[in-house]
Amino acid sequence: MNINATLFIQAFNFFIVYWMLRLFLFKPIIAIIDYENAEEKAMLTIIDQQQKSLEIQEKERQRHWYVCQEYFTIHQPSAPSHQFLIIENTNDIPIIIHETSPDDITRITRDIRSKLEERIKHVH
């Protein structure tokens, strides 16, 4: 095997090119990649904080909802089982009109409750 000076010159040139590439190309690219990674971590941290904030707001909204439910459950008016309205006619004949039945009261209460729930859910 014959080793001459050209092999050493080629090795020297290779190291010079490697050093120049590392200094002028690889170093800025690595700096850009590190900067992008740092920004990505910062964004993920911000997203995590926002998610925690939303969870806290949702828990607070649920707490308010339960307080309202409890208040209305406690202060719910009691309805008599039979309601009658007596209207005097001009001929002095009483007319008895059934206002609402217990089933109608239950249905109306359920409808009002669902509409209130929908309105409260959209309030922030």
3-state helix, strand, coil split of the chain in percent (to 5) is: 75, 10, 20
3-state secondary structure of 99: coil
Exposure of 16 in the CB half-sphere (CA atoms within 13 A): 6
Each residue's pLDDT tens digit, 11-42: 999 999 999 998 898 898 999 999 999 999 99
pLDDT of residue 39: 97
Query: What stretch of H or E contains 95?
Result: strand 94-98
Domain boundaries, the chain: 1-76, 79-124
Each residue's pLDDT tens digit, 81-102: 555 544 444 455 554 555 667 7
**Burial track 29-57 (b if 16+ CB lie within 10 A, e otherwise):** eeeeeeeeeeeeeeeeeeeeeeeeeeeee
